[in-house]
Amino acid sequence: MENKQPLSPHIQIYRWHISSLVSISHRITGIINIIAITLICLWASCLLLGEANYQLINLFLSSLVGKFFILAITWSFSFQVLSEIRHLIMDLGYGYELNTTKISGLLVIFGSVILTIFFYLVGDTFL
Amino acid sequence: MINATKKWIFLKISGAILIPLMIWFILNLISIYDEDYLNVINFFQNPLSKMLFGIFIINAYFFSALSISEVFEDYVTNDKIKSVANKLLYASAVVIPLITIILISRL
């Protein structure tokens, strides 16, 4: 039977707003995060192979590319955390006014950068 | 309660649980990713870390499977492709965390 259910209109027909940018970024970072978590599962599982095999992964993670990779994951996680909090607040019925959606969207975008720096400093220095 | 409502509620609950777990994990990942083998092993051998990491990956895959199936619902027209994609998605959301937890428990 043919599916009569309408699809979401393609995103390119809309004029870009902060909310649409946050919405599509939420989906993209969600997919990036699950790929990153899969790689992390693989990394953790590789520990079973022993110290000699782990050196190869350690060499990559200690390199500049490895550090950039961790920083990118940190930003992606930070974005998802703030965007999820925004979604949950909106689900409770708050923040639907046009100006509020713009402000909360900007808070997610700029907040994710600040949170990335904060997480990196706390994780690297205090733990 | 219809299935779509149940799915939405599960999505919201898993999303809320995921927030503190993501913060806990990313802080610990930053502290251990460039450490030597023994320090990383120590982290995964710690019972609390092991338990929280297990809950984190189960919840993350559950949340992602529900979220990504929404993306399929929005943008995939062909019902057969959508059905196969959803089955692969849900299977991987069970298999990957399960294998990882079994392997980590052996550390």
pLDDT tens digit string along A39-73?
999 999 999 999 988 888 999 999 999 999 999 99
User: May I ask the CATH class of domain A15-125?
Assistant: mainly alpha
Instruction: Calculate the CA dihedral of residues A75, A10, B72, A39 and round it to 10 degrees.
Output: -20
Q: Do A58 and B103 touch (CB under 8 A)?
A: no
Tokens 């907040």 -> residue: A111
Give yes or no for B55 touching A (CB within 8 A): no
Give yes or no for A13 touching B (CB within 8 A): no
**What type of residue sits at position B78?**
N
Report the complex ipTM: 0.91
Residues of B with CB below 8 A from A66's CB?
33-34
Of the candidates A109, A101, A46, the one whose C-alpha atom is nearest the C-alpha of residue A82 is A109
Give yes or no for B95 touching A (CB within 8 A): no
CA distance B72 to B82: 6
Q: Do B23 and A73 touch (CB under 8 A)?
A: no
For chain B, list the domains and their CATH numbers: 3-105 (1.20.1300.10)
Phi, psi of A2 (to 5 degrees): -75, 135
Segment B35-80, tens digit of pLDDT = 999 999 999 999 999 999 999 999 999 999 999 998 888 888 899 9
DSSP reduced 3-state for A6: coil
B27 min Cα distance to partner chain A (Å): 5
Which residue from A27, A41, A124 is facing B30, i.e. has the nearest CB?
A: A124
Segment A69-127, tens digit of pLDDT = 999 999 999 999 999 999 999 999 999 999 999 999 999 999 999 999 999 999 988 77
